[in-house]
Amino acid sequence: MKQEDLSSGRILKAPENFLSREGIKTVFAEAKNGRRNFIRSAFAAAVAGAAAPAALAQGNPVPSEGGDPNILTLPEHSKGLGQGVSAEGSYGQPSKFETNVQRRQSPGLTQTTQASVSFAPLQSLFGIVTPSVLHFERHHKGWWDIDPSKHRFMINGMVKNPKVLTMDEIMRLPSVSRFHFIECGANTAAEWGNVAVPTCQYTHGMISCSEFTGVPLITLLELAGADLKNGKFVLAEGADGSSMTRTIPMSLITSGEVIVAYGQNGEMLRPENGYPLRLIVPGVQGVSWVKYLRRVEVGDKPYAAKDEAIHYMDLQPDGTHRPYSNLQECKSVVTTPSGGQVLLDKGFYNITGLAWSGKGKVKKVDVSVDGGRNWRQARLETPVLSKALTRFNIDWVWDGKPALIQSRATDDTGYVQPTYKQLRAVRGTRSIYHNNAIQSWLVQENGEVKNVQLS
């Protein structure tokens, strides 16, 4: 990188809010009538008027001559007495200049907030860990703040000694802490047929990565004398109103990976993330990470629960459904530059993004700036962990001409992330779940970045 490049590479952040409250009501009404394209057009109209005024407000560049008043004039924070330590009982808050970095709900996705999604702001995050307050949400019948002293965890089915455990009894057992990503099976669902939403937050924001702390489920099953030879599956059941129940293969549990967790990022789980107890099933779609976990039952066959026999199945081109396709395949996305952002200068930029695989570790990530004609291997930031997000970076000098930015991840099994053409050849265009196709961002000559798809 040349010294003269240091002053270039300014990026206007993606606007956080695309629709007014009235606009969201309109989208809901149109969605009821089956007009999915209206969501895309509503987003596009909102984005068109969002970038220009924001550009003037965000930049405070160093003057080309005459000295920088931000240095020459001593600011108040350099000559005054600052605030004292946080008041007793307070909980740390972000800077007032960062309060726009929030989870966002996609209008038109669902009709009620109790059975909806909020998306993590991937384009505003660094490293691989998602702060708990920004972790994406998916609820089926709303979230609860459950009294941990009254919460109980039951183990039954093919076990010698059925057990009911309190939170205290679980938390005094030997624990493990591990970093893992959790991705909703419907992440990127809106993009199956065509471009639908404008930013990385809405295309890929149903994924987060945290350090989870808890007790391996195999430890608890062994305490109950589970029949690990004939018991081939475990049914996990949540305590919320939807009674979320999912079948977990015993092979995942005996590997020691599945955790009954109470901790997230060094503190107790947040209520919207399953407090006081949830299941952690690394590499498997988020619906199996049952929140408010109250029971597991050992059985000898899949349970065909409502959310695996009716929902969360992959629609095939011939109209049939593929059940129990729970694995999250290798996937990646460039988070900067990405949709909704604006490049303000020609010159040097650091292209950065996230990659992950439900099969293990990310082996490499290739990046293209010409729509896949040429690829360069990106740098992988450490740590590179199994079934966790991996941050990648690569240098790029933008010449002011249109560019098509893509990332393509490969995991340690040799699996390569597919193009949309390759994925649709197998899955068609009418599916919902497990869209892991390569994402494309178009950088236009004016610096605006758009979500596009290549045929």
Q: What is the pLDDT of residue 57?
A: 43
Q: Answer yes or no: is pLDDT of 78 > 90.
A: no
Distances (CA, A) of 401 to 252, 348, 397, 448: 49, 14, 11, 11
**What was the pLDDT predicted at 52?**
43
Q: Is the pLDDT of residue 379 over 90?
A: yes
- Give percent above pLDDT 70 in the chain: 87
Residue 332 has pLDDT above 70, yes or no: yes
Taking alpha carbons only, the member of 411, 125, 149, 437 closest to residue 283 is 411
Average pLDDT over all residues of the chain: 88
Residue 43 confidence (pLDDT): 57
Does 229 or 305 have the greater pLDDT score?
229
Any idea which of 85-89, 358-362, 364-368, 371-375 has the lowest mean pLDDT? Answer: 85-89
Cα 228 to Cα 89, 237, 245, distances in angstroms? 47, 19, 20
The predicted pLDDT at position 56 comes to: 41
Q: How confident is the model at residue 438 (pLDDT cuts 50, 70, 90)?
A: very high
User: What is the CB neighbour count within 10 angstroms for residue 92?
Assistant: 6
**pLDDT greater than 80 at residue 371:** yes
pTM higher than 0.85, yes or no? yes
Of 128-137, 233-242, 313-322, the range with the lowest mean pLDDT is 313-322
Q: What is the CA radius of gyration of the chain?
A: 24
Q: Looking at residue 33, what is its pLDDT? A: 56
DSSP summary character for residue 316? P
Of residues 40 and 252, more confidence is placed in 252
Cα separation of 210 and 52, whole Å?
35
pLDDT at 316 over 90: no
